[in-house]
Every structure is written in C-alpha cells, then in structure tokens.
A and B are shown apart, each in its own frame.
Chain A
C-alpha cells in the first residue's frame, strides 16, 4: 500500500493519499492522471489492469487501488 501512495504522490503533490478518499469522484486526479497511474501500477506490481476494473470505485483511494492490485495478483 505504501508503494501505491508513493506512486499517487508522484502524480499529484500536496495531497495526503494515506487518508484521501474520493480522489477520482472529487476530481483530485483526472482521467489523464489515471492513464499514467495505470502504466506505473502495471510496471510496479507486474499486473494487467483490464477494462473490467476501470471504474471510479477501484481508483477512489489508495486503499481501493491496493485492494484491486491484490485481487489482480490473485488471478
């Protein structure tokens, strides 16, 4: 999870991603940030994020992203 926070912080400075909720819903990160985020997550965790996972709720907080990564790693 710490690594996810690190990646998010590299995309957007000045936000505490440990506690931040609704980061997509509240437009803290936008669709262009998500494109970069996916590429960084895939490189870091060696997973493949498919369209099935491209929903706001999967990217709305560092914890939600981490949960998605764990689910993908299990598959």
Chain B
C-alpha cells in the first residue's frame, strides 16, 4: 500500500472513522491496530516478527536498565554512605546496565546489519567463487529486508540509549512502546522519532480538533503536490538520462539539477504527507526538512535536510565518539606533539569521519555510499578546520559579507556541493559517475539544450514549463514558510479564498499529477533505506 495510492486514502478514511468513534481512552489502540494492518499491507506478514523482536528486546532491556537505576537510587537514598562508597555503587550499577545495553545493541543492530549487508556480502562471495570455479553458488534470495528496518531500529536504539544515559525513564507498557515503533505515518520512511517526543504525543488525550484536522489535510495536499506534480515528473527525465546510454554533458548537467529537486520534493513531499496524516489524529511528528536549499554552508545544509537522521547521528554517534576515552587520549597526544589547533583538528576530524561513513552506510552498502560518506566528511572537515583561513581570504579579497549577493553565492555553492554528493550515488555506480564527469568536462555539447534533444527524455516543453512554474511556487512557499506558517496565514483569510486555494491545490494535483489507472507512482527514494 503506497502512501500515494487510493488504497492509502481509503485506509486513512476508515482509520479516521474508527479512531474518532472510539472512546478517547482507547484511541491509541485504534492507531496500534491500524498501524499493524498498514505494516502488513505495505510490506508483508513475514516482516512482522522482525519488528516485534526488535521492539521486544529493546523494551525488555530498557526496562531492566531502568529497574537497575531504581534499585541503585534506593540504595543511595537516605544511606549514610561516604562519597567513595556511593561512587562504587554507581559504578557497579552502571556496569550491569552497560551489559544489558550491549546485549540489546548487539541483537538489534545485528539484525539490521545482517538484513542490510548480507546481500552485498553474498554478491562479493559469488564474484570470488565465479573467478575461481566459474559458477556463483550462493543465493541471496532468501534474505528478507523488513520494511522500515533502518527507521524503527534507529528509533528504538535511540530510546534505549536515552534510558541508559538517564535522559528519561523506561516505558512500562509494551504495547505503548510497540505503537511508538510501528506507528504507521513514520514506519516506512521516518521521521526517526524520539521516544520522549512521539511516545508522549501518543500518550496524550487524542481529541477531535477540526482546526488541526484541516491543517493536517492541507499539509498532506502540499506533500502530494510536491511528490506527484514535481518529483514524479522530474523522475521521468532523471531515470531516462541515468538509466540510458551515454549522453551529452549538458544533458547530464540538467539531470543533476533535476535530480536535486526530485529527491528534495520526493522526500520532503513524503514527510509532509505523513506529518499531515499524523496531525489528523492529533499526533505531531518531528520536522524533517527546513528548506535545505537555503543553507549557506554544508554543515548548515545537514541541519536542514533529513533533520531527524542528522540529529540521531549527532546524539548517538558523533557525541559518544567525541567524548570517548579513545578520542580524549588522541586529543591529548596530538596537542603535545602538534599544537593546540592540531589537537582540536584531530578531535573534529575523527568523529566527523566516523559519523559520515556510518551515515553513508545507512543510506546503502557498497563503495558508492562509502565514497558519499567520505565526500561529506571531507567537505565538513575542510569547512570547519580551515575557517580562519577562509575568513582571511575573504578579508584579503575585500568581500562584503553582509550583502545579498554574497549570501546568494554561499547558497549556490552549498547547492552545488549537494549536487556533487548526488552525482556519486544517482548515476548507479562510481564508474558511471566518472563517465558523467568525463562527459560534462569533455563533451558538453551545449547545443543539445536548444536543438530539441532536451525534449527526447520523456518531457516535452509544456511539461518543462510546468516544472519551472511548480519549482517557482515551491520557492515562493518556502520563502513564506521561512517567515511564517503558511497554513496560519491561509486561516486568517476569508473562507471563500481559503477553500479556493485548497480546491486549486486538489485540482492541480488531479490535473497535473503523474498518476492514473495502471500508473504506478514512482517509489519513494528513501523507502529503500
């Protein structure tokens, strides 16, 4: 059941009726049942044991950790123990909690790694066997990759780490926790929700609120517009270019530009649809995008793009790596042997490198995503480590940094860096990436943009005009969103105008959307992770 299908809309309507017919106390149960149904329909029944196992292990282990801390607090409370004895008790309990945590992490991250990396390993084993014997004896067909495994594993692992670090206490009811893991708006493609936010949202009294429901539907409409009108239309061109034979460099440049807008409208469109759907039930999901193309630096870009993934890696990989004993030892040594700045440089480089390589591997296995991780870790390291030099150069060149032109240049520079990252993964392998770069540099053939060749990739000129208009609208709305809530602005208008805008949105999706009988809307790009 794809989220852009009629089935999903029917499912949403039925869930809406059942949900609001239930007494407030049991509405979360309606969400749980519909989430399980959605998970089975969007994936398969055979995926269900995986998510039950991961949630079960995490919930049990977090409960044990929580209980250990309660026991520790009981021992420490009111006793006349000295400082050293208290410290020893704390260390003893911390050790026990750590053992439980490690068990949970090995089990759940193990399942994730086996499901994600076995196919890649089998492919390489077959290559080796083929070179030796001439036959490929291993099969990877039996390996299941459960729907949303990266997303629910990350959400639940974040929860147990937070309990271990005493950021909040454990959830006593398994079914409540299971709803957090399998909640249908975020299971397929995120956002990767934090338990202290989504868990609490699902616990509050979910009452009928017509204003919020209309807001939710408006957000869904905007998401459908981004996905069906822009992303799926751009997908026609991008797929035709990247899946076909060699093309002129100028065509690749257009494909790179279209690809950047396609992935943004695809993923942010998805997020708007599910956040809107969730709002209909009174549950707020975390923001995942904050107009990333307005970012002026690469680090800022990653604070605006797939924000919940970036936040997850920052809190659960980058910080633990930064403050680990290993890093502290390296920091001290480099400070002695190099300099204060050298020490700080190493402190930044290693955790950034580890974080980005892992972020790359989260997106996909293989050399392509490893290169993608290295690409971003290099960009971020350069932007941070050489900041003083960049400032000196800017001063030397007498560049006025408070001007619009300078800010625009920085935005375009960041956008180009993003397109560079996409160039590593979109063409389908590093060899093809090199071929694209070669054609851009050596066979640009700019006349292909004007002699009609551009229209031979599935999009004629009216379609390209429609894309240009839609992107302009997207830009205008994004500019407005930077300043205020568009939905609130719309709410302040006369009812005739408000509903005219809503109907215009519905009709533009119906008329211009890429869909219809027999047409399978292109799968959301981030669902594969």
Contact = CB atoms under 8 A, between A and B. Distances in A.
A51 B348 CA distance: 17
Interface residues of B, number: 23
A30 B167 CA distance: 21
A32 B328 contact: no
A36 B344 contact: yes
Interface in B297-343: 299, 303, 314-315, 318-320, 322-323, 328, 331, 343
A42 interface: yes
Contact of A35 (B87, B166, B315, B348): B348
6 contacts: A30-B303, A32-B348, A35-B348, A38-B322, A50-B165, A54-B323
Contacts of B87: 75
B384 interface: yes
Contacts of A27: 303
A10 to B, nearest CB: 10
Interface residues of A, number: 17
Contact of A36 (B315, B318, B348): B348
Interface of A: 27, 30-32, 34-36, 38-39, 42, 49-52, 54-55, 75
Nearest to A35: B322
Contacts of B265: none
Contacts of B322: 34-35, 38
Interface string B279-291: 0000000000000
B347 interface: yes
B245 to A, nearest CB: 43
Contacts of A75: 87
B351 interface: yes
A38 B343 CA distance: 13
Contacts of B319: 31, 34-35, 51, 54
Nearest to A11: B344
Nearest to A42: B328
A45 B146 CA distance: 48
The 6 closest A-B pairs by CB, nearest first: A35-B322, A51-B165, A54-B319, A52-B165, A32-B384, A31-B314
Contacts, number: 46
Among B322, B348, B352, chain A packs the most CB atoms within 10 A around the CB of B322
Secondary structure at chain A's binding surface: helix, strand, loop or mixed?
helix
A32 B344 CA distance: 10
A38 to B, nearest CB: 6
Given A27-B303, A50-B323, 4 more contacts: A30-B303, A32-B299, A39-B344, A55-B167
Interface in B343-392: 343-344, 347-348, 351-352, 380, 384
Q: Which of A27, A32, A49 has the most CB of B within 10 A?
A: A32
Contacts of A52: 165-167
A12 B313 CA distance: 24
Nearest to B340: A40
B76 to A, nearest CB: 12
A39 B303 contact: no
